Each structure stands twice: as C-alpha cells, then as structure tokens.
Amino acid sequence: MAHLLSTSYSVKFSSGCKPSTKPLIQDSVVFPKSVTFQTSKTPFTRLLLQAQRSRSNCTVCATTLSASREASNEPSQGVHQSSSEPSKSKRVMVIGGDGYCGWATALHLSKKGYEVAIVDSLVRRLFDQQLGIDSLTPISSIHDRLRCWKALTGKSIELYIGDICDFEFLTDAFKSFEPEAVVHFGEQRSAPYSMIDRSRAVYTQNNNVIGTLNVLFAIKEFGEQCHLVKLGTMGEYGTPNIDIEEGYITITHNGRTDTLPYPKQASSFYHLSKVHDSNNIAFTCKAWGIRATDLNQGVVYGVITDETEMHEELINRLDYDGVFGTALNRFCVQAAVGHPLTVYGKGGQTRGYLDIRDTVQCVEIAIANPAQAGEFRVFNQFTEQFSVNELAALVTKAGEKLGLDVHTTSVPNPRVEAEEHYYNAKHTKLIELGLKPHLLSDSLLDSLLNFAVKYEDRVDKKQIMPSVSWRKIGAKPKTVAA
Ligand code: NAD
Ligand code: USQ
C-alpha cells in the first residue's frame, strides 16, 4: 500500500496529550494509563510502517486507557432481558467504536447503563488522510470525545487502541475488559474502497476476515459465554429474483427438505468479506458452541442520535465522498451544496435502509436478548426498502420545500450490479424483539438537509463524483485522491 502513502501527509493519533481546539471539558478521572506501540506485522501495522518509510511524519500512540471499574459489576446470567433496562450491568466491547455506527452505539449503550469499552485501530481516520477526504462534520479525537462524554454524564468508556488483526493486542483487551458481549463493527466497510485496486481488495479481505477470526478465537479462549454481535450486511444476499429470508431458507429438493443458509451473491470484495465472516462465524458456533448474532444491516442514514447531539464534541462522522459516502447521506449533502444527485445507472437498485437511531436500538436489542450457546442467529437489520430513484425523488421534494434547487443526474454506473430487479427482503425478527423503527420522514430529511447546509463550507465538491470502477480494477496500485 506504499503508493497510498506516497502523497504528502501527516497523521498524528493523539494519546490524549493534544490540547483540544474547542472548549475542552476537563475530566480529572480519565487519563491514559499506559502507552504501548503495536509492533506486530498485522496489515494495519504494515500499513503504518510503510507510511513511516514513505517519508511521512506519522506518529501513532497505541493507547490502553482503562477507566476505573465499578465494584458492583458481575457477569450477567439472564438470557431474555428488556432492551430498555438491563437488569445487571453488562460489559460490552464495541470494536470499531470510533466509527460512524460504532461511536453512536458505544454512547447509546453507555447511556443505557452498560459498561462499555471501545476497541479501535483508528485506521478509518488514516484512510481519510490517505484519500484526501473528510467527514462533513468536524469530528473530535477519540480521546476528546470520551473526555466530553465523561464530563457530561459521569460515565467512563474504556479505550483500547489497536488492531484486532493483532491477536496479542486483542488478547490483552479481552483479558483486561472481560466482555460479556462483543459488538463487532471494526472492519473496512466501503465497497468502492475494496474495488480501488488489488492492494485494497487484499487489505479489505485480510482486515475483515482475519479480524473476525481473531475475535472468534478470543471468545473461545477467554470468554466462552461471550455473545458476539457481528455487523454483517444485506449486500451478502445480492439481489435474487425471490424473497430474501433472514439468514436461512427451507428448500425441498428431489423430495427431501432442509433448512439451509440463504444463498449469498455479494457484489464487491468488501461485501464478499462479510460472506466469508458469516461462514466462519457459523462454523465456530457449530464447532465450539459460540453464541452469535449476525446483523445483516442495510444502508444506514442520518447523523444524530440522542447521545451524539448532547455536545458538539460528540458529533458523529458523516461521509459524503464517492468512496465512503452512502446513498441517502450523499444525496442530502449534494442537495445542500447544489450538486446534482448522483443516481448510478438506471436507479432501480433497491436496498434496505435504516436510520442510525435504529442501528443503535437494534444492537441494544440483540445484546439484551443473546443467542443461545451454539446458535448462529441472523437478523436482517433495516426498516424500509427504497430504490435509488425513490431516494432521489424524496430528497428533491424535501429540498425544494427548504428552497433548495435540486436536480438529478444519471451517472454511468461505476459498479457491476442489477439496475432493475425484484427485491423483497424479510425483516421481522428485530421488530418481534421490540424494535420501534424511525421510518424515513419529511422531518428527518429536513433535519439531515439542514445539517448538510450548516456544514456546507466543509464540502469538497471534487470528492462527490464516484472515482472507483468495478470493471477497471487492476493489480496496479491506484491513487484516487483528487
Ligand atoms: P466506519 O468505517 O465508520 O467504522 C469502522 C471502524 O472500525 C473505524 O473506526 C475503524 O478505524 C475501525 N476498524 C477497522 N478495522 C479495524 C481493525 N482491524 N481493528 C480495529 N479497528 C478497526 O464504518 P461504519 O459505517 O461505522 O460501519 C461499521 C460496521 O457496520 C462495518 O462492519 C460495516 O460493514 C457495517 N455496516 C455499515 C453500514 C453503513 O451504512 N455505514 C451498513 C451496513 C453494515
Ligand atoms: N448509489 C447511487 N448513487 C450514489 C451512491 C450509491 O446510485 O451516489 C447506489 C449504488 O450503486 C448502490 C446503492 O446506491 O446500488 C447503495 O450504495 P451505497 O454506497 O449507499 O451502499 P453500499 O455500497 O452497498 O454500502 C453501504 C455501506 C456498507 C454496507 C452496505 C449495506 O458502505 O458498509 O454493508 O451499505 S447493503 O447495501 O445493504 O449491503
């Protein structure tokens, strides 16, 4: 990946020593206890070492920041618990807790009384630096975020900075925190990123598949009862010409009947990494009795949750660029800055979507109602399905109400995907467990559009058009930054 790092950049991951540029809410309790540098040759460290070799000034402080533990914390033995009030304090490790879904979830669980530890390598912040992209919203460092949370709520969130592909690091984090549930968001999650070139395809599958395998081994070795809540994706199923079930389908073939994993037809190296993860998790549930829930999540939209809107320093990231930005979030930002909405191809591509407030709710429900030992449970985690054309029409209508002049452009599809197809995916299991969906509404679109208008000065319009082609992917390292 040296090519990626050959452009001039400087990354400094602070270990909490950097003064905040915003009014800092001082917290006298949470300070880094120890600073360790990860030296193993995981893909992430290789990436960093290459960064250092390639003349850049890259300082990484891998920090284990462990807040004081409550004496009352006992392992939970309950199985079916209410989603709103955990009867006992539960220790939840949120891997990828500095990212879009993970940050919102970590705060939500902390607010609800769970003891939370974030595990994150911060590699996502590095991708942004490498690609020359940025969140629409100005996000604070993870240390400032956590200090602010502690100051506002009195609640500590433990922090382990490192790469889960490094099993020694993960082992230390597991032994130190002793999670009863692990929510695993910590993957390279962009389909376009995985299709830039060979090195990103390899990185994506290595990072995601090995990281998940390590989590499975850590559970087996150090926390047999620990419930794995793994973020999968609806894209694992592809777009078959039959209804999509939740994980399994009962088939009668030549007079015999069986219930089998639903067929997977993923359409990017990223989406395929999730299929490989699912297979590995299913196998270890059978072989080792691991309890796991695979949340096949649809495309997430929105930026505000009850917790992240408590303070500017808690603001979540919102990606709008052509690599990490996702459909509805992108369309809202495009409408706000007068860029035509970028519908790829015919626009009939239909997917499941959900509000980020429902992401955090679904994860909480999954944790409160764990899978049984040996059970590989699959939930389809989305609330509504839309075609890209339908999303563009909704954003156009909402934008016009706010006085924005919104147009749509048909962009030659950079992906290989069906542009007109049947799509009917089941999503009842989380509703049965108590999910109360926030359906896409005019008021949500208004608030997302207003949010985008508020930060429009931060939009780099050069990053909006897609720059990664599924067909043109090659072995030669490619630079995609503008
Ligand atoms: P994100 O990129 O914002 O966050 C992912 C986080 O994981 C980052 O903070 C990153 O630094 C961390 N990470 C990556 N690899 C790691 C590693 N090896 N060790 C430690 N940390 C690592 O992504 P997101 O949008 O929050 O997505 C989170 C999860 O949800 C992903 O698994 C993704 O596939 C899934 N998902 C996301 C969406 C969506 O619309 N955003 C939809 C469906 C599923
Ligand atoms: N699309 C457009 N215009 C755009 C952006 C996207 O037409 O400007 C289309 C894409 O071609 C695709 C659909 O919208 O058909 C969804 O694309 P996306 O970029 O919003 O989402 P996707 O690449 O599928 O990935 C996102 C997350 C990923 C997650 C997935 C859920 O990045 O982590 O797994 O959503 S799902 O789509 O259900 O697989």
Which mean pLDDT values do the consecutive 10-residue runs of the chain (482 residues) have? 33 31 28 31 45 33 37 32 51 99 99 98 98 98 98 98 98 98 98 98 98 98 97 98 98 98 98 98 98 98 98 98 98 98 98 98 98 98 98 98 97 98 98 98 94 97 97 93 58
Give me the pLDDT at residue 481, please. Answer: 62
Q: What is the atom index within ligand 1 of the atom nearest the CA of 122? A: 11
Q: Give the CATH number of the domain where residue 149 resides.
A: 3.40.50.720
Domain presence at residue 413: yes
Domain presence at residue 55: no
pTM: 0.88
> Using a 6 Å cutoff on CB, does residue 383 contact ligand 2?
no
Give the dihedral sign, CA 84/86/87/89. Answer: negative
CA neighbor of 428 nearest in space, from 368, 362, 363: 362
> Using a 6 Å cutoff on CB, does residue 98 contact ligand 1?
yes
Residue with tokens 């599924």: 470
Burial of 212 (0-12, 13-18, 19+ CB in 10 A): buried
Q: What is the atom index within ligand 2 of the atom nearest the CA of 231? A: 34
Query: In one letter, which amino acid is 107?
Result: L
**270, 301, 423, 455: the active-site residue:** 270
> Using a 6 Å cutoff on CB, does residue 164 contact ligand 1?
yes
> Using a 6 Å cutoff on CB, does residue 233 contact ligand 2?
yes
Domain presence at residue 183: yes
> Using a 6 Å cutoff on CB, does residue 297 contact ligand 1?
yes
- The Cα angle at residue 307 between residues 291 and 102, in degrees rounded to 5: 40
Domain presence at residue 229: yes
Q: What is the atom index within ligand 1 of the atom nearest the CA of 381? A: 43
Look at the chain and report how many structural domains it folds into: 1
Domain presence at residue 53: no
Domain presence at residue 269: yes
Q: Alpha-carbon distance 52 to 249, whole Å?
A: 49
Q: Alpha-carbon distance 379 to 393, whole Å?
A: 29
Q: Alpha-carbon distance 324 to 318, whole Å?
A: 9
Do the beta carbons of residue 158 and residue 68 sit within 8 Å?
A: no
Do the beta carbons of residue 292 and residue 228 sit within 8 Å?
A: yes
> Using a 6 Å cutoff on CB, does residue 112 contact ligand 1?
no
Domain presence at residue 19: no
If one residue of 188, 189, 326 were mutated to test the ligand 2 pocket, choosing by the most ligand atoms within 8 A of its CB, it would be 326
Cα 367 to chain centroid distance, Å, stands at 17
Q: Is 274 one of the annotated active-site residues of the chain?
A: yes
Do the beta carbons of residue 376 and residue 294 sit within 8 Å?
A: yes
Determine the structural domain holding residue 188 and report its residue range.
91-463
Residue nearest to atom 26 of ligand 2 (CA): 299
Domain presence at residue 261: yes
Cα-to-centroid distance, 326 and ligand 2 (Å): 5
